[in-house]
Structure 1
Amino acid sequence: MRGLRPQPTPIPWAAVARAAVALAAPLAVGLATDRPLYGALVSMGALSGVIGDTADAYRMRILNIAVPQLFGALGVTLGSLVYGQGWVAVGALTLIALASGMISSIGAVASVSGLLLLLNAVVGAGLPMPSPWWKAPLLLTLGGAVVLVLTLLGWPLRGGVPERAAVAAAYRAVADLLAAAGTPAYDERRQAVTQALNTAYDLVLARRARDHGRAPTLVRRLAQLNALIPVVEAAPAAHLGGRPLPAAIPAAVRALATAVEDPRAGRGAAVAVAVAVEDPHPGPGAHTPRRPPATTTPPGRGHALPEPAERAVDHALRHAATVVHGGDPDPHNADDHVGRPAALRVRARRAARAVLLSEGSWRYGLRLALCIGLAQSLVSLIAVPRSYWVALTVTFVLKPDFGSVFSRAVLRALGTAAGLVVAAAVLAEVPRGWWDVPVMMVLAALIPAFSAKGYVFQTAAITPVILLLSDWLNRQGFGLVLPRLYDSLIGCAIVLVAGYLLWPESWRTRIGDRLADTVEDAARYVACAFGPETDAGARGRARRRLYRDLSAVRSEFQRALTEPPPTGTRAAAWWPLCVAVERVVDATTAARVRVSHGAPPPAPEEVADIERQLRELATRLRTGRAPAEVPVGPGPEADEESVLTPLRQEVGAARAIASPRHDGP
């Protein structure tokens, strides 16, 4: 039901204008040159480019649009070679589906590339293409090139703006987190910070040059992001104080966000930071600090803000202000918090290993190949008009990185029905010819506008565009409408049966295994955070990996909730434990921050005991029982004055939730 409600996102007007021009202009040129078929093929290529243009940074858009177009050209070439070949076409498309599914497991660009490889292969095998063989891939690629050129027109004017906006959004999310410290809204705000940091790091780090000296602007953005990490680490320590921070502190972080977005606003940000924090080393005659006196009471919920946490917030905020307003950062120290990216050849080897040796890659590839093989076999045995729509529906629905297969199948059926209402009116009332150009401009503009609202709205917007272009290829007019509906319903049914019901993983959540991996990483993070020889960079990288893992667990949880019983019901039972593990990570970070700012370090035995308890919890999540060789108990006598007291409490809460006596997972 949530998928039927439009998301409250702004309309991307620039993308709306690009889509209208990119899809309507080739059609107009084709009509003017008396080659409407060629114009329709260029528009179909442009449609793929419009759908794939989801990145923000311009350097990422080049790959997001250009690379999938090359795979699409290969797909339509392979498909046209087996056009009208009967069972040979069935076998060829099944093998292409296997390769497409395995490629899709590498990453975002590879996922879109695999999608276009299979989509265009299905179209090439289901529709007659102009001869010679190279015309169709050339025309489709030309359509993608049109979108790419229109996209890059704004680069000279808006280069770097998406990166600055993403970094500034991360600062504002941290400001909201600090404002929520000591309140029940903290957990929700921390999740928003994780998402904002993930987005900003992905945008800044992706595709950057290996030599930072060649890209000083990206170095500055990365340094600004890294300067935000100590503020994020200090937030849990402040939250454990149990009372809100002074309002000037989040206001200062918002001022830094403004300075990141607009460097000319730097003066106001510097003043805000100076007001928010006191000089940690006041000279003679300095004013009395405005903050309440520090306390030595052990941290815990409901206690006053401890002095180490207070110093951590002050130092982190001053450091962030120095980086934001300072000179050029050191290019060799700009990525200590996330690790220097591997060389391109190393990443290529990793990607190849992930495709060929990953169980998940083979599982999804076989799953997609089975559904495509069934779809093509069905239309080979039964006379289905415009049979390629069945396989197209299977391809769109069965995408693992697009969310729940079950909900996508249902939403696609509903979106197709809604889009067919518009398509029926267009095909019945608008005569083929020049009237199609303004109609295409309007329909194409709806695609990016509706795509931001949700999958069902995107499907409803794309359906009439595809039908209008298909009508130029086969000249069936209104007769396309009902076959399109039947084929979509058949494709959704194949996915629900062969791609969902027959796979055991569809009937159980994968949250438990993923959460167990995260708990094991949390145990390693505890050892890393209080190890005698661990540097700050290693701790920062371990913490970022943990929060990314938790974000992935949360996404899996949201996906599982949309599944029908029993999967959705079982997923709901995991939520309290997901929250408990997140609090364990927060408590570890808070303890590390307090130790770094003057609190007595914990005893090695206490650290080892907490690490042992977390590993026991990970084992319980995987097997449903505690490990027999290690007794489950409270461990050595705990010092209530220890800096790890809040962490022990959170670990105990997580273990209680996972206990067989608890009415939970």
Structure 2
Amino acid sequence: MTEAEAERKRAAPPSWLLSGLRPLSAPIPWAAAVRASIAMAGPLAVGFALDRPAYGALVSMGALSGVIGDTADAYRMRVLNIAVPQLFGAVGIMLGTLVYGTGWAAVAVLTAVGLLSGMMSTIGAVASVSGLLLLLNSVVGAGLPLPDPWWVAPLLLTLGGLFVLALTLLAWPMRRKLPERVAVADTYLAVADLLAAAGTDAYEKRRQAVTQSLNTSYDLILARRARYHGRSGAMVRLLAQLNVVIPLVEAAPAVHVRQSRLPEAIPAAVRELAAAVEESRTGGAEPELPAPDSPATRAVDSALRHAAAVVYNADVDPYNVDDRLGRPAALGVRMRRATRAVLFSRTSWRYGLRLALCIGLAQALTSLVAVDRSYWVALTVTFVLKPDFGSVFSRAVLRAVGTAAGLVIATPILTAVPIGWWDVLVMVVLAALIPAFTAKGYAFQTAAITPVILLLSDVLNHQGVALVEPRLVDSLLGCAIVLVAGYLLWPESWHTRIGHRLANAVTDIADYVAYAFDPGSDGRGGERISPVDQAERVRARRRIYRDLSSVRCEFQRALTEPPPVGTRAAAWWPLVVAVERIVDAATAARVRVDHGAPEPAPEEVAEIQQQLRELAEGLRASEDLVSVRTELPGDEEGVLAPLRQEVAAARAIASPQP
């Protein structure tokens, strides 16, 4: 590297910042863009027509929250994602209105709401968005003079969100079953790609895609089944079709660990099943497959023929369908579990206290210092610090960058466009940019939302371009509060949680190995594993893959942190891959035993368990991986040989440092 190249490298922005500023390669959601334009420009037009522009602006603000929250695919999940948060938003705006202009009382109330909002984030996606709207609307109500009487603002904001929901549901009669069916068909396509990639370097990437697709499909179908309790014939059939793809997924590692390639006829047959699922076709012929020549290919052949029989069968027994993730709990049970998770979880309290501290500081600052449009400081804190939304540091920086870009867009609009009907035309364009830019990344979403909020604020307060400078100053103040009180003061911000989560996954793998090769299961004493136990084994394996998905999410989040956190996170990557390979090897061994390979000795199983538990203990005691060793296991024999090799390789990858 020349001196000039080295100088350019030193002058270039850091990689963690460039990763956030680089637009994602995602398609533009045209339907969502049109829906956003109608939902936000329509109320504004009605407000001007009725000479009530402030009312129209409030309805558009409610629609904005609905547009941001409309992220699901299945319509019933979209109802939850939009409608439930609107109720919490209405409560928030009422709380804020009650403490408007009360000074330190507002500080206390908003701090308490911040605590609750942060704790709610640990429950789930809908609760997280609900907590976000609860806090956001509380801040808006405490910072803006809203129309009297007290119930007008909550009603108008809720109407805006419900208007988005109504527009979303217009296509329900024609497409209400499509998301679930398409999701299952996509899972079959992902499995076909996985089988085609067995024995190649592309296998790991394909396996990750299968895991994500299975998670999505089960989430969609089980969410719908929770309402219909298995009485929907279409959902029972889809669930059966999804269940029978699991043996195919389990058979793939058995082929891959032997570096074997499957004939093209096998993935082609799976793709044909995907088309049958999507088109809801029945009565198809059994696939013509080449004769299997090993336990692994026999497993694939058996699983594929069984999947074809279920996919082409129009009549599925609704009482003989066992979903692989367990039956959804009753609503009351789920609520009790969520309440316990909020009240007794250290993570819940830690997130809540972190958010409450920053909101309290923001409100206290604006109570002591005269800051124009002071509620923007707390709004910025809320958007940046929402703990389940990713890296705090990078979000603070990207929000500042996105806000500056949004102000560049908003300044000429506020300068040249008079308040009135021209605002409606401008809103048509700006609202459509929100879904389009959201798909590109957080900084781009902020750049799209900023001019929309400024335009609506101008309709409410008639301050024009004078809104621009306070908006920038308040956003920078909010980002500074987050960086100091929400990031630097919390030691957990300086460390990754990859090692701890990876240790949990390794412990689960050790338990799975014990269960999969228990002497009382298949092949010992002439006994066969029962269907119930077999389903439990599959659920245990799926839980491991979900654990590994969370590890990957944490890994991606940590990579966006500035050094040294991002650098430390990158060192974990070889071990993450090694643990995933251990799961594949364990699954492959179980499949080979199921199709003719000899059962391993209990002593061999116990030895592998012990090695896995020692690996997990070492990971829990570590913060960083500091040295990589080169010794790798040699060739071994036996059905568990690949598993032993993967465990030994994982233990040889790195030395944890306490």
Deviations 1:75-108 (A, max 9, x none): 0000000000011111110011001111111000
Q: 1:499 to 1:624 in 2, by over 3 A?
A: closer
Give the secondary-structure state (helix, strand or coil) at the position aligned to 2:225. coil
Match for residue 645 of structure 2? Answer: 649
Matched ranges for 1:327-346 at <5 A: 327-346=314-333
What TM-score results when the alignment is normalised by the length of structure 1? Answer: 0.91
Q: 1:151 aligns with which of 154, 168, 175?
A: 168
What residue number does 2:511 align with? Answer: 524
1:484 paired with 2:475, answer no
Q: Verify: 1:242 aligned to 2:240, yes or no.
A: no
| 1:159-194: CA deviation from partner (whole Å, max 9, x where unpaired) | 111111111111111111111100111111111111
Whole-Å separation in 1 of the counterparts to 2:318 and 2:575 = 41
Q: CA–CA distance in 2 between the matches of 1:597 and 1:587?
A: 15
Which residue pairs with 1:612 in the alignment?
610
The 5 Å alignment of 1:186-585 reads 186-209=203-226, 212-264=229-281, 270=284, 274-275=287-288, 277-278=289-290, 289=291, 294=293, 307-531=294-518, 532-533=520-521, 535-585=533-583
Which amino acid is the alignment partner of residue 457 of structure 1? F
Note closer, same or farther for the CA distance 1:213–1:454 as it changes in structure 2 (3 Å cut): same
Matched, 1:107 2:94: no
| Superposed displacement of residue 321, structure 1 | 1.1
Taking the aligned partners of 2:638 and 2:331, their CA distance within structure 1 comes to: 46
Measure the CA separation in 2 of the matches of 1:502 and 1:645.
48
Matches of 2:322 and 2:59, distance apart in 1? 42
What is the match of residue 588 of structure 1?
A: 586
Give the letter aligned to residue 452 of structure 1.
Answer: A
Whether the aligned pair in 2 keeps the contact of 1:209 and 1:215 (CA below 8 Å) is no
Partner of 1:41: 58
Would the aligned equivalents of 2:91 and 2:134 in 1 still touch at CA under 8 Å? yes
Displacement of 1:213: 4.0
What is the CA–CA distance in structure 2 between the aligned matches of 1:274 and 1:413, rounded to whole Å?
57
When structure 1 is superposed on structure 2, of 201-210 and 534-543 the one drifting more is 201-210
Shift of 1:378: 1.0
User: What percent identity do the matched residue pairs reach?
Assistant: 74
- Whether contact under 8 Å (2:39, 2:164) holds in the other structure is yes
Amino acid paired to 1:274? P
Aligned residue in 1 for 2:137: 120
- Deviation of residue 209 (structure 1)? 3.2
Q: Which runs of 5+ in 1 are unaligned?
A: 279-288, 295-306, 626-637
Q: Which amino acid aligns with 1:253?
A: V
The superposition leaves residues 11-41 of structure 1 with CA deviations (integer Å, 9 ceiling, x where unpaired) of: 1111111111000111111111111111100
3-state DSSP class of the match of 2:149? coil
Q: Residue deviations 1:591-624, cap 9 Å, x none? A: 0000111111111111111111111111111124
Q: Is the 8 A contact 1:179 1:247 kept in 2?
A: yes
Given residue 536 of structure 2, which amino acid in structure 1 is its aligned partner? A
Contact 2:506 2:613 in 1 (8 A): yes
Does structure 1 retain, via aligned residues, the 8 Å contact 2:25–2:440?
yes
Aligned-partner residue type, residue 487 of structure 1: D
Match status 1:88 vs 2:105: yes
- Tell me the CA shift for residue 245 of structure 1: 1.1
Summarize the Cα distance change of 1:624–1:402 in structure 2 as closer, same or farther, 3 Å threshold: closer
| CA-CA distance at 1:328 after TM superposition | 2.8
CA contact (8 A) 2:58 2:157 kept: yes
Tell me, yes or no, if the aligned pair for 1:101 and 1:365 is still in contact at 8 Å.
Answer: yes
SS at match of 1:659: strand
Q: CA RMSD, aligned part only?
A: 1.7
Is the CA contact 2:341–2:348 (under 8 Å) kept in the aligned structure 1?
yes
The CA distance in 1 between the partners of 2:250 and 2:135, in whole Å, is: 45
Query: Contact 2:499 / 2:622 at 8 angstroms: preserved in 1?
Result: no
Residue 426 of structure 1, CA deviation: 0.9
TM-score w.r.t. structure 2 length? 0.92
1:212 Cα shift?
A: 4.0
CA contact (8 A) 1:212 1:331 kept: no
**Correspondence 1:172 to 2:189:** yes
- Give the secondary structure class of the aligned counterpart of 1:214: coil
Give, as a single letter, the amino acid of the residue that structure 1 aligns with 2:490. Answer: W
Q: How far is the alpha carbon of 1:639 from its aligned partner?
A: 11
Deviates more, 1:362-371 or 1:163-172: 163-172
Q: What secondary structure does 1:62 align onto?
A: helix
SS of 1:560's partner is helix
Q: Is the 8 A contact 2:118 2:387 kept in 1?
A: no
Q: Give structure 2 stretches of 5+ with no counterpart.
A: 1-17, 522-528, 624-633
The DSSP-based 3-state class of the residue aligned with 1:496 is helix
Higher mean C-alpha deviation, range 373-382 or range 385-394: 373-382
